[in-house]
Structure 1
Amino acid sequence: MTNVEETLEEGGDPRSLETRTVVAGTGLGTAVGWAIIVLAILAVLAALAVARVFVVPVIMAFLLALVFSPLCRWFRRRGVPEPVAALAIVLGLLAGLAATSFSLALPVSGWLEDAPGIAREAERKLRVLAGYAEAVSEAGRQIEEAAASGEGTEAAPVEVVIAEQGPLTTVALGAPLIVAQTVFVLILTFFILASGSLFYERLVRVMPTLTEKKRALQIAYDIERDVSRYLLSITVINAGLGLAVGLAMALLGMPSPLAFGLLAFALNFVPFLGAIGGVAISFAVALVTLPTAFDAFVVAAVYFALTSVEGQVVTPWLVGRRLRLNTVVILIAVAFWAWLWSVMGMIMAVPLLVCLRVLCQHVEPLRPFGEFLAGREDR
């Protein structure tokens, strides 16, 4: 006997059985749909992790193209062909990158080469500062006496030396890949800029209705405007921070103040973690090169004060309310993309968040998520 017949014999309504069947089927279909979505997200993340050598330069090139597309159009309105403007922009990027690399190469290589000595010297000064030097020496003497008392009964230990790969060797091995990716980014950026509005034209053409064409074009232009405004603002702010840090390091007697200024400029593109890394590097170098540990703490405090003023006052004022993001979301995004794509992921985390927020503002089902991404001042 079927379920419908049983329902009819019991005096029930067959439509209620059909409703229950549809509801059960809908629940099962929803669960299967969510499972498929989760599996698709995991598959995309795995693909992004495996193909990061290719994907990261491509995304970086598109972000650079978003930043410089308004400038390229400005040149075009003044009669400069887009390929010429694109070539000038790419050559300017290459010149700036080369100048920064050459300025940082000598001091950074020296720091990497002397890293073990720097660590030992830093440990020695910190022990003196903390007053633990005598206790450590006494413990060392006791260990030596205990070892000497057992020399007659045990065989002499065999010294094992493990040759480790030094930091400079690691950098040298990774340099060809970094250079190749950089060249690829610059070449791809040139072709994107030289193509002009080709991508926008193709985007409009593939949309089926006039309303969707207008919406797609508005989203593209809003992403371009907000990302370019954000990255240009952050670049100007970081340049000012680098100048301030370089001058402060020179006044405090630090070696290679220009290198510290360039490091501050580069590291500050990574929210939160870049400032922490700059404070740690300045403290470590100062601890070795300056006379006392107190001087090193002063250097680190000055660096921290400058980055705090930049992060709490200058950046909120210049970036504006429209581009502010939830601080917790930024930290999570930086950690996530660092786990997925290492250093380049940390640099691209906030621009990708800006793109996502603009998209959420134009797509009705995603607007609550866009509100979650917004900073406190935007609400």
Structure 2
Amino acid sequence: MHTSPLVKTIQILLLFFLVFAGLYIAKPFLVPLALAGIIAMLFLPLNRWMEKKGIGRGVSILLCILILVSVIIGILAILTWQIAGFTEDMSQMQAYISKMATNVAEMIQTKFGISLKKQQEILKQQQSSGAGGAGKMAMTVMSSSMSMMVDTVLVLVYIFLLMYSRNHLKQFILKLVPNEQKEKTLTIIHDGTKVAQQYLSGLAMMIGMLWVMYGIGFSIVGVENALFFAVICGLLEIVPFVGNITGTGLTLIGALSQGGDTAMIIGILLTYGTVQFLQTYILEPLVVGSQVKINPLFTIIVIVVGELVWGIPGMILAIPLVGIVKIIFDNVTALKPYGFLIGEEKKKNAGIIDKIKGWFNKS
């Protein structure tokens, strides 16, 4: 029976709706599992290298997890050390925030005719209505902290089990497909794993370079706790487009609260522009590469959808997961048009970055 194009389109849209609804409902289960899967792919080369050196699989996986935990603890230690420096400037920051609040109140009085006394009454009413919720807020914070700790342990357990059982899982996938499709399935598994590995390892290298560049730039313009803001700006690059703007905005707020003048603000903006130029035209093409070949439109779309479905973890996982999905689309005949849709357009003329990459490849 022939299916009309309209019916087929409706069926596809319904399928997408059900998939996203399922992803949203299963968020508590899928987010730790997906995060563990991506990290496990990242550590597979190191794990295999250790096994070739005669180290048992279980021990080598534990060493990989230990490296991951050490890196996370190191980053948190740097942030905690830098945050401690803020306490020395706390009075200055409070004075700046108080002055800014006074200016806003005066602007509201001038523009909207709401007197300062009336504004104070409104604030008191809101504070009194929210006072009873202080206990609930404290419980929410405690609950979120406990949930984060449980998810962290769960991710580490998933990483160990996924890496330890990877051959068993691969054989299971191969048993699901016909014999004539096994070779293509192996290609999909290999290419999908390679995309995740190269994207994440390149991203980690780029974040390290951004820490150095932001740290130097912020130190030159005189930003206090420059290392803290450099680490924040670098880490937020995990979320494309949104992260760099957020990091720079936080740096500007910090500089203003420290009494930064116009020259410092201009210096921060110049640092941001210079780093973004180097990142876009040099670091990303050479270090991260175009392993996840998704066009800018769908890059933004998947980030927005990832945030709607899984929140901040969804924004972080969106790019590598869609890269893996594109590998599947490109290797399944019926799905090739969708792989083409989300992929990059082929450039006819090689740019200067492509030529530089060619020099590296030749060497």
> What range is the shorter-chain TM-score in?
0.7 to 0.9
1:227 is matched with which residue? 196
Residues 64 and 189 in structure 1, CA contact (< 8 A), matched pair in contact too? yes
What is aligned with 1:180?
A: 150
Aligned match for 1:270, one of 236, 239, 243: 239
Which of 15, 24, 29 is residue 54 of structure 1 equivalent to? Answer: 29
Which residue of 2 is the match for residue 251 of structure 1?
220
- Higher relative CO (Cα under 8 Å, sequence separation at least 6) belongs to 2
How many pairs were matched up? 335
Which residue does 2:206 correspond to in 1?
A: 237
Q: Distance in 1 between matches of 2:217 and 2:204?
A: 20
Query: Equivalent residue for 1:18?
Result: none
1:206 to 2:176 alignment: yes
**Equivalent in the alignment of 1:5:** none
Q: Normalised by the size of structure 1, how large is the TM-score?
A: 0.77
1:87 maps to which of 59, 62, 66: 62
The Cα shift of 1:86 comes to 0.7
Q: 1:143 to 1:94 in 2, by over 3 A?
A: closer
Q: Is 1:67 aligned to residue 42 of structure 2?
A: yes
**Could you say what secondary structure the match of 1:60 adopts?**
helix
| 1:92-111 aligned within 5 A | 92-105=67-80
| 1:118–1:365 Cα change, 3 Å | farther
Q: Which has the larger radius of gyration?
A: 1
Distance 1:283 1:161 in 2: 29
Q: d(CA) in 1 for partners of 2:301 and 2:117? A: 50
Distance between the aligned counterparts of 1:188 and 1:304, measured in 2? 40
Contact kept? 1:316, 1:324, Cα under 8 Å: no
> What CA distance in whole angstroms lies between the structure 2 residues aligned with 1:39 and 1:145?
53
Alpha carbons 1:76, 1:82 under 8 Å: kept: yes
Which stretch shows the higher mean deviation, 297-306 or 275-284? 297-306
In 1, Cα distance between the equivalents of 2:211 and 2:254? 17
Aligned partner of 2:125 among 137, 153, 160: 160
| Distance 1:85-1:117 versus aligned 2 partners, 3 A rule | farther
Distance between the aligned counterparts of 1:90 and 1:375, measured in 2?
Answer: 35
Shift of 1:73: 1.4
Q: CA deviation at 1:261?
A: 2.4
Question: In the alignment, what sits opposite 1:317?
Answer: 286
User: Which position in structure 2 is the counterpart of 1:3?
Assistant: none
- CA–CA distance in structure 2, aligned partners of residues 212 and 157 of structure 1: 68
SS at match of 2:223: coil
**Closer, same or farther: CA 119–214 of 1 in aligned 2, 3 Å:** farther
Amino acid at match of 2:158: L
- Give, in angstroms, the shift of residue 41 of structure 1: 3.0
Change in Cα spacing, 1:182 to 1:106, as seen in structure 2 (3 Å) is same
Contact kept, 8 Å, 2:51 with 2:57, in 1: the verdict is yes
Q: Which moved more, 1:301-310 or 1:267-276?
A: 301-310
Q: Which moved more, 1:193-202 or 1:351-360?
A: 193-202
In 1, Cα distance between the equivalents of 2:178 and 2:109?
A: 81
Quickly say closer, same or farther: Cα 1:268–1:369, change in 2 above 3 A: same
2-side partners of 1:91 and 1:44: how far apart? 35
Q: Hey, what's the Cα distance between the residues in 2 that align with 1:31 and 1:224? A: 36
246 and 206 in structure 1: CA distance in 2 versus 1, 3 angstrom threshold: same
**Alpha-carbon distance in structure 1 between the residues aligned to 2:158 and 2:332:** 29
Give the TM-score normalised by structure 2: 0.80
Structure 1 stretches lacking a partner, 5+ long: 1-24, 148-155
Matches within 5 A, 1:16-27: 26-27=2-3
Match of 1:20 in 2: none
Distance across 2 between alignment mates of 1:145 and 1:314 = 51
Change (3 A) 1:266 1:322: closer
Q: Distance in 1 between matches of 2:51 and 2:117?
A: 81
Structure 1 vs Structure 2 CA RMSD:
3.5
Unaligned runs of 5+ in 2: 349-363
Query: Which residue number corresponds to residue 10 of structure 1?
Result: none
Q: CA 1:105–1:157 in 2, change beyond 3 Å: closer, same or farther?
A: closer
Distance 1:295 1:157 in 2: 36
Deviations 1:287-330 (A, max 9, x none): 11134244224223313431332123310233334533201110
What is the CA distance between 1:197 and its match in structure 2? 2.2
